[in-house]
Chain A
Amino acid sequence: QTVVTQEPSFSVSPGGTVTLTCGLSSGSVSTSYNPSWYQQTPGQAPRTLIYSTNTRYSGVPDRFSGSILGNKAALTITGAQAEDESDYYCVLYMGSGIWVFGGGTKLTVL
């Protein structure tokens, strides 16, 4: 059973920088897993932020960036704004048609 791990919660000050990570319970996350990141606010469907590790989706502000840090995928928000307070999910494409979502990170901006 593949488990994708994320920090349950994180906080950042307005204008600050925060890096959320996405790991595997067994092994390393690489670009071959095509990590993507989604933002979800309460009562709303997820919104695509980043795909293919580091490509911003159309219309996503450039304060959001993706990368591989060590053995994890990472989402960095540089210059966090109050509107960035949301839940963030990573998802890995495991191949053979299988997707696995991480447990999500609740980001507080305060």
Chain B
Amino acid sequence: QLQLQESGPGLVKPSETLSLTCTVSGGSISSGSYYWGWIRQPPGKGLEWIGSIYHSGSTYYNPSLKSRVTMSVDTSKNQFSLKLSSVTAADTAVYYCAGHLAFAPYRFDYWGQGTLVTVSS
């Protein structure tokens, strides 16, 4: 059973870059069956898909965030990462990493516990 764990600063200043890492344990990030994604949830609001990455480095991003998002993968460490640039208070949210199938049936199978990132000076 795969487990995902987010890590990174809980406080980021406005205009700076938010950086988070997700460590996958219990299996290989390179298994080929999964894309690895980031989803966020502002306090009291709904879920928003940010983007996903394959172990090869292939990425898909939410069009509304695409200009500010960069995702990367480190297969040697079984980790994938998110960078969100030029953050504002609107980027304050719980950030989840997740694994979803790379093919049908499309579904999210694995979720991290989430990490709260606050954007404030």
Contacts and interface: CB of A to CB of B under 8 A. Distances in A.
Interface of A: 1, 34, 36, 38, 40, 45-48, 51-52, 55, 57, 89, 91, 93, 96-104
9 contacts: A1-B63, A48-B107, A48-B108, A48-B109, A91-B108, A98-B49, A99-B52, A101-B48, A101-B49
B96 interface: yes
Contacts, number: 63
A40 B63 CA distance: 25
A96 to B, nearest CB: 7
B60 A45 contact: no
Interface of B: 35, 37, 39, 46-49, 52, 60, 62-64, 96, 100, 104-109, 111-114
A57 B107 contact: yes
A47 B114 CA distance: 13
Contact of B46 (A52, A55, A97, A102): A102
B107 A36 contact: yes
